[in-house]
Amino acid sequence: MKKLTLSEIAALVDGELKGEPNIEISGIKNLDEAQKGDITFAVAEKLFDKVKDSKASAFILPKNWPHKEERPAIFVDDPYLAYAILANEFYKRPFKPMGIDKRAIIGDGCEIHSEVSIFQGAIIGNNVKIKNGVTIHPGAVIGDGVEIEEKSEIFPNVVIYPGCIIGKRVRIHAGSVIGADGFGYAQSPKGMVKIPQVGIVIIEDDVEIGANTTIDRAAFGETRIGKGTKIDNLVMIAHNCKIGPHCAIVSQVGISGSTKIGTGVMLAGQVGIVGHIEIGDGVKIGAKSGVPNSVKAGQVVSGIPAMPHRRFLRVVNYVKKLPEIVKEIREIKKRLDKVEKNEQ
């Protein structure tokens, strides 16, 4: 089991250590579960009672922690970020290439690095390029001409359609489909005529894609997911979308075709976005919002249709009061009717 001293942990998370530097830590757990030998963390003062009761050997706490802590603690700007860094250090799995399992199916003309892990039941098409450190789990299907860069991981039953490009250190979770046809049809008197979808999907470096997410190939050109973007489970991204770097897209979001999304955009759960609009850099869109128009950089919007978040909160507040408002309007109307009758 891996162990780190508190001084090593403080250096890793860029924190200020108060306490014995040579105490060894063998794991990180939440406040309730931590025991001797563990380090735990609290993000806010409201967790003081849990910190007091915790059995952990040490703590990661915010720099503005108002209480004197008798036990060893590391003070940081962002405890949650420190937790993420440390958890990766404790629980990362070293890559050990197992090669190509004899029960995998490999097409013709492939260029596959010797240091890969391709499990039984994986199907690799023709002329596929797979770089070093790649893992492809059972049941994954990699289409003809796909390129997968270094240290990416393709989980079970992922399907990557022909011609798509997967960058470095990309993780695509089980059941996701990359590069299926975009939903493109033209109407005719005899019914729908399919528009050929001949583009590709490009996934840039350090992207993570959740389980059962679908990203459609472009009609022409490319659908692109920017570097470092994180996509949750059950997300739908349509053809020719351009998603910028370092975005966060939460479960059940649906993005229609040819939408452009900037850098650092956050889309909460079940957001729906129409096609052919632009979402500017740094935009945040609240859960269940419907976005019918472009949104300028830096805005925070919510609602159906999406509007500035503060306005949305006022609207919601009025909606809650509608029964009382209707009652008051009826009473006012009765009074006006009486006044009008008296005047007559």
Scored b (16 or more CB within 10 A) or e, 13-40 reads: bebebbbeeebebebbbebeebeebbbb
Among candidate residues 225, 99, 236, 240, the one with its CA nearest the CA of residue 166: 225
| Phi–psi pair at 328, nearest 5 degrees | -65, -40
Among candidate residues 184, 148, 182, 151, the one with its CA nearest the CA of residue 163: 148
Pairing of strands 73-76, 16-18: antiparallel
Scored b (16 or more CB within 10 A) or e, 116-129 reads: bbbbebbbbbebbe
Task: State yes or no: is 113 an active-site residue.
Answer: no
Residues forming beta bridges with residue 214, ordered by sequence position: 177, 236
Q: Which of 67, 113, 137, 239 is catalytic?
A: 239
- Run of H or E including 48: helix 48-53
CA angle (253, 199, 210) in 5-degree steps: 30
Residues written for the chain: 344
Rounded-to-integer distance, Cα 283 and Cα 303, Å: 14
Determine if residue 45 is left, alpha or beta; phi over 0 gives left, psi from -120 to 50 gives alpha, anything else beta: alpha
Active-site amino acid positions: 239
